[in-house]
Structure 1
């Protein structure tokens, strides 16, 4: 239970520190850059996911066609 209390206290201190940092011009610039990097990363992750999903769907379709041809023989 003590660890949970320290964990919660750490989160609270981090939130307060981030809020104070965001009040400065440098802090706003830092968080804007961080936000842009996170958006770039999540966009790349999403694009990769959808690309792989399309590859797998195509492979399943090809396998399905092969099964249908084999079943017709």
Structure 2
């Protein structure tokens, strides 16, 4: 419980410090730059996720088509 209190205190202190820093011109520039970099990073991660998801869906579709073809070939032989 004591550790949780320290964690909450640290988070609160961090927000207060960040708020004070953001009041200065350099602080605003820093946070604007940080926000831009985080946005670019999150966009890159999202794009990579969507690309990988499409690759996996294509692979699953190929497996399903191959399975259907194989089952069709087996039923035609009987």
- Tell me if 1:17 matches 2:20: no
Query: Unaligned regions of 5+ residues in structure 1, if any?
Result: none
Query: Unaligned regions of 5+ residues in structure 2, if any?
Result: 74-78
* Count of residue pairs the alignment pairs up: 73
User: How high is the TM-score relative to the length of structure 2?
Assistant: 0.90
Partners of 1:21 and 1:72 in 2: CA distance: 68
Measure how far apart 1:10 and its partner are: 0.7
Post-superposition, which runs of at least 4 consecutive aligned residues in structure 1 deviate over 3 A?
Answer: none
Alignment-derived partner of residue 43 in structure 2: 43
1:37-65 residue CA offsets vs partner (Å, 9 max, x unmatched): 10011000000000000000000111111
Q: CA RMSD in A?
A: 0.6
Alignment-derived partner of residue 63 in structure 2: 63
